[in-house]
Amino acid sequence: MGTDTVVKTRPMVAVKEPPLFKVIYVNDEVTTMEFVIASLIEIFNYIHSDAEEVTMKIHSDGFAVVAVLPYEIAEQKGIEASVMAKRNGFPLVVKLEADE
């Protein structure tokens, strides 16, 4: 009673990390700082103090990177922020840029 063992090998496949994209909030004269803080907390899981700090940067510099994520996640979070803004009557602009 002999048992033959067959060993199957799979070729190594190099898996590339997905490219990262910056999610950028652009300042405007209508969207309130309170709304920006709330959206950063709700959508990007910021703690309140960090959300306030980034909101001040957006206000003073005219924009700020709020997250760096794989493209699909960055796109989804950007859409969520834009929809949330529109529902609340704000013209918040959210842009995506490749992270170089």
Burial class (CB in 10 A: 0-12, 13-18, 19+), 52: middle
On whether the pTM is more than 0.85, the answer is: no
Whichever domain contains 27, its CATH number is 3.30.1390.10
Q: For 26-71, how does the pLDDT look when each residue is reduced to its tens digit (9 = 90+)?
A: 999 999 999 999 999 999 999 999 999 999 999 999 999 999 999 9
3 lies in some domain: no
Question: Residue 45: which domain range?
Answer: 20-98
Give per-residue burial for 63-98: e unless 16+ CB within 10 Å, then b: ebebbebeeeebeebbeebbebbeeeebebbbeeee
